Every structure is written in structure tokens, then in C-alpha cells.
């Protein structure tokens, strides 16, 4: 099959007219303009979007445009919402989220799954995925059931499109003694991990001094805040223990300093920015734009729909552009397409998603986005466009949309 478009974007530089040739579900080559089986016309055609941080089981309607009350109260309300949904309800929400994700041009997700809802919901889904089993341990005992985690890691239903890893939830929900055994184990298993770090404003005070709003939050959960005191930040602690490696995804990182950003970059880990979720909580400007300018791999994710509003990566890219008007538009597109694939390859798994640069042999996972009329770079204008089609393994997932486009 050959698909033509006014703008083929191969992950860097200027998008140019051309065709993508697909054979056996793989990209064969990029060709100059000419005859094609599908002609998208005024559209950008590129590798599919990767949602690098997602809680599919929290694909719930966002009740308000911005958070009401404190972050602590909101977090507890999310925990309660999960409990009220029950196992079947969480699976239903995860399945609905997966469908919305696909419709928005996303071909791969990095999902944090606390209890298996995403596994069930994605069993027959074409989405490629990194499923990260969430770990929460407010106390040092009984510790980690490594046998159960090992069973989870080995249980992928489809090795060609599913990879599994671990997600210690955060610095304040995983006891330091537990984390000290979990992350070295992840390194031994050679698996990716993701962790919410420097998300609330009070995290630094909790970890450095064992005091503040974070201490009160832990006391409310029946945990001992003093046992979470490290005398240093989470990034500093991970760097010192040797656990901050290429296997790691630093989720949010809202309060990371310039030095911590540099440490993340030096380690080979990546930073995941969720601009709409960040705005929902009314936080100060995020360090991601400056981090990207300094060469750190910044990835984009929607977080849960309950905070982002939708699971559209185009919406997320638009929010990134609104928050970083001086950032090169190519950099923003790379955050959603190339950077997550580069990080996954760096962590030892290049085969799952390919390169994002339309190389020969890459999976034919593609998205087509319309280009509205106007002035300015095509990538800039396409942020206001619509998804015309999505392909995974060269198979169109919205054939009716493609018919309308033609």
C-alpha cells in the first residue's frame, strides 16, 4: 500500500510532499509524490503519537476545568473513585479510554495499571503499550512480593505489541526501604520503570526535613512521615544510590531544579510533561520547556482524563505550545513521536515502537492530521487540525474517516 500526503514528516526537519510505501505491516520506504492507494491531500502524515503517561482506568469525566480544593484532597478523591468503580468499572473505563486514545491518533501508550484493568481492557486492542504495574507501600513491611511482580512481567499477552514494567507510585507512597529493594530489582530484570517525582509542592520539604503538608498527608494515611525523611530530594537520592538510569521515566517533575534536570539528562532517564494536567492543578510554569532546550528528552502524556479533560495528544501538544510559545514547534512534535521511542530504545527495547522517523522496517504505525488554511509552518498549523486516520501495522483503524478525507 502507498499513502500520499502534502506533508510527510519523518521526525525532524521540514515536512515535504511524498508517499509512504507499506509492505507486510512495515514501512518500506518514503517515495516522492506520485500515484497512491490513499491520497490524504492537505495533511501531515507521520509516525503515530505516543502517550507517555496515562492512567486508562481513570478515563472519567473531569468535573471542573481546574482543581477545586487541595491536591491532597483531590488525590484522595481519585483513590475513592477507583474503589467505587470496582474491578468491572475500572475495566470499562480503561476500555473506553483506549478507544478514545486510538481515535485521537495515538498508536502507543505508557499506562500505569494498579490492578489489571488495563490488561483486560487492552487484550484485543491494536494499541502498542508499555504496561507499568503500580506499587504502593506506605510501610516497610511486609515489603515487595517479587514473585508476583515477576509473574506480571512475564505475562504479556502479545510480545509484539506489549511490554511490561514497574511503577513505584511516588516518593511519598513507597517507603524508602521498599524502594531501595524495588529499583535495583528492576535494574536486574532490565525493565523500564516510571515514578511520580517532584509532583506536589510539599514533596521537597517532606523528603528533606520530614515536615510540612506532606507529613500531615502521610499521617492521615496512617504512615510515619519521619521514615520518609531522606535529607535530600528524590532525584538526589536516586542519583546517589545509582538507581537513576536509562530505564527510568520521571513523571511530572514539576518542582525539579535546574541541577536535578541536568542530573536526569545525564542519567539517560526521561522527563514526562503533562501540560493540561499541570494547568488543571494551577501550578507554576513547568521546567520542561527549558529542559528541552538544554537537550533533555521530554515526553508528553495526558495523565488521567480525570485531570486532562481528553486523551487527545493533539490537545496535549497544543497545550504544550501554549505553555512554551518560544519553543521550536519541531521539538513539541518530537515530544509526542520521536522522544518516547528514543527513550524506549535507550532502555533496551527498540523493537516495540520503532524509531518514529519512518525508517525502513519500522512498524507502519501512522497518523494523518489535517492542515488548516493559514500562514506559518505546517507543523504549527496542524496543531489546530483534526486526525484524519490512524494506522497500526499498516491497517487503517478509521476507514470511514479516510473516505471522508478523500
Q: Which residue has cell 535494574? A: 187
Domain chopping of the chain, boundaries: 2-47+356-405, 49-346
Task: Return the ∠ at Cα 122 (arms to 130 and 353), rounded to 5°.
Answer: 35
Tell me the pLDDT tens digit for each residue of 11-48.
999 999 999 999 999 999 999 999 999 999 999 999 99
Number of H helices, E strands in the chain: 16, 16
The CATH label, of 3.20.20.140, 3.40.50.2300, 3.40.50.740, 3.40.50.150, for the domain at 49-346 is 3.20.20.140
What gap in Å lies between CA 156 and CA 130, rounded to an integer? 10
The answer for residues whose C-beta is within 8 angstroms of residue 282's C-beta and 6 or more apart is: 66, 67
Tell me the pLDDT tens digit for each residue of 75-133.
888 888 888 888 899 999 999 999 999 999 999 999 999 889 999 999 999 999 999 99
Mean pLDDT of 185-190: 94
The model's pTM is: 0.95
Model confidence at 211: pLDDT above 90: yes
Tell me the pLDDT tens digit for each residue of 300-355.
999 999 999 999 999 999 999 999 999 999 999 999 999 999 999 999 999 999 99
Beta partners for residue 166, in sequence order:
133, 193
Tell me the pLDDT tens digit for each residue of 214-229.
999 999 999 999 999 9
Tell me the pLDDT tens digit for each residue of 142-172.
989 999 999 999 998 777 899 999 999 999 9
The answer to whether the 2-47+356-405 and 49-346 domains have the same CATH topology is: no
Q: What are phi and psi of 359, to 5 degrees?
A: -75, 150
Cell reading at 376 = 506559518
Burial class from Cβ neighbours inside 10 Å (0-12, 13-18, 19+) for residue 262 reads: middle
Which residue, 261, 258, 252, 342, is CA-closest to 300?
252
Cell reading at 282 = 494551577
CA atoms within 13 A on the CB side of 385: 24
Cell reading at 399 = 476507514
Model confidence at 404: pLDDT above 60: no
What's the pLDDT at 299? 98
Task: Return the ∠ at Cα 126 (arms to 105 and 388), rounded to 5°.
Answer: 25
Whether 358 contacts 30, CB under 8 Å: yes
Tell me the pLDDT tens digit for each residue of 108-123.
999 999 889 999 999 9
What's the pLDDT at 26? 97
Which residue, 181, 182, 249, 255, is CA-closest to 212?
255
Three-state SS at 320: helix
What's the pLDDT at 85? 86
What gap in Å lies between CA 264 and CA 248, rounded to an integer? 9
For residue 58, give the DSSP letter: G
Q: What are phi and psi of 137, to 5 degrees?
A: -150, 95
Percent of the chain with pLDDT over 70: 98
What topology is assigned to 2-47+356-405 in CATH?
Urease, subunit C; domain 1 (2.30.40)
DSSP string, 330-384: HHHHHHHTHHHHHHHHHTT-TTTT--SS--TTSB--EEEEE--SSSS-HHHHHTT
End-to-end CA distance of the chain: 16
Three-state SS at 44: strand
Mean pLDDT of 181-210: 96
What gap in Å lies between CA 298 and CA 340, rounded to an integer? 8
Whether 193 contacts 167, CB under 8 Å: yes
What's the pLDDT at 328? 94
Whether 169 contacts 194, CB under 8 Å: no
What's the pLDDT at 406? 52
Whether 354 contacts 340, CB under 8 Å: no
Whether 13 contacts 377, CB under 8 Å: no
Cα 95 from chain centroid? 17
CA atoms within 13 A on the CB side of 184: 8
Q: What are the DSSP E strand ranges found in 161-247?
A: 162-168, 193-197
What gap in Å lies between CA 166 and CA 186, rounded to an integer? 7
- Angle of helix 234-241 relative to helix 258-267, nearest 10 degrees? 30
Cell reading at 319 = 497545550
The answer for residues whose C-beta is within 8 angstroms of residue 285's C-beta and 6 or more apart is: 323
Tell me the pLDDT tens digit for each residue of 61-78.
888 889 888 888 888 888
Tell me the pLDDT tens digit for each residue of 245-300.
999 999 999 999 999 999 999 999 999 999 999 999 999 999 999 999 999 999 99
Amino acid at each position: 500500500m502507498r499513502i500520499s500526503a502534502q506533508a510527510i514528516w519523518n521526525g525532524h526537519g521540514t515536512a515535504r510532499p511524498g508517499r509512504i510505501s507499506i509492505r507486510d505491516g512495515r514501512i518500506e520506504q518514503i517515495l516522492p509524490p506520485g500515484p497512491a492507494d490513499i491520497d490524504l491531500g492537505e495533511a501531515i502524515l507521520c509516525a503515530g503519537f505516543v502517550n507517555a503517561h496515562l492512567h486508562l482506568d481513570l478515563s472519567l469525566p473531569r468535573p471542573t476545568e481546574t482543581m477545586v480544593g487541595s491536591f491532597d484532597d483531590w488525590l484522595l478523591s481519585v483513590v475513592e473513585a477507583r474503589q467505587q468503580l470496582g474491578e468491572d468499572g475500572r475495566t470499562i473505563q480503561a476500555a473506553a479510554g483506549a478507544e478514545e486514545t486510538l481515535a485521537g491518533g495515538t498508536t502507543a501508550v505508557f499506562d500505569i495499571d494498579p490492578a489489571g484493568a488495563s490488561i483486560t481492557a487492552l487484550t484485543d486492542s491494536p494499541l502498542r503499550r508499555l504496561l507499568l504495574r503500580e506499587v504502593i507501600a506506605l510501610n516497610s513491611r511486609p515489603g515487595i512480593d517479587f514473585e508476583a511482580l515477576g509473574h506480571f512481567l512475564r505475562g504479556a499477552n502479545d510480545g509484539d505489541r506489549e511490554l511490561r514494567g514497574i511503577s513505584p507510585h511516588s516518593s511519598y507512597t513507597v517507603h524508602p526501604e521498599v524502594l531501595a529493594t524495588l529499583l535495583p530489582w528492576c535494574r536486574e530484570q532490565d525493565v523500564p520503570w516510571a515514578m511520580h517525582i517532584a509532583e506536589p509542592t510539599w514533596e521537597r520539604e517532606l523528603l528533606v526535613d520530614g515536615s510540612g503538608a506532606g507529613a500531615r498527608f502521610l499521617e492521615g494515611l496512617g504512615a510515619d512521615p519521619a521514615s520518609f525523611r531522606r535529607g535530600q530530594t528524590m532525584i538526589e537520592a536516586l542519583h546517589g544510590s545509582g538507581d537513576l538510569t536509562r530505564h527510568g521515566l520521571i513523571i511530572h517533575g514539576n518542582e525539579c531544579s535546574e541541577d536535578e534536570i541536568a542530573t536526569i539528562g545525564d542519567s539517560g532517564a526521561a522527563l514526562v510533561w503533562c501540560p493540561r494536567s499541570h494547568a488543571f492543578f494551577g501550578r507554576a510554569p513547568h521546567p520542561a520547556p527549558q529542559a528541552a532546550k538544554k537537550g533533555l528528552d521530554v515526553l508528553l502524556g495526558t495523565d488521567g482524563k480525570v485531570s486532562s479533560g481528553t486523551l487527545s495528544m493533539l490537545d496535549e501538544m497544543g497545550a504544550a505550545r501554549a505553555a512554551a510559545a518560544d519553543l521550536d514547534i519541531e521539538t513539541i512534535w518530537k515530544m509526542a513521536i520521536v522522544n518516547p521511542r528514543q527513550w524506549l530504545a535507550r532502555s533496551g527495547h527498540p523493537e516495540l515502537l520503532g524509531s518514529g522517523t519512518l525508517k525502513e522496517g519500522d512498524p507502519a504505525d501512522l497518523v494523518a492530521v489535517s492542515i488548516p488554511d493559514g500562514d506559518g509552518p505546517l507543523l504549527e498549523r496542524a496543531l489546530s487540525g483534526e486526525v484524519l486516520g490512524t494506522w497500526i501495522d499498516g491497517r487503517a483503524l478509521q476507514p470511514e474517516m479516510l473516505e471522508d478525507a478523500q
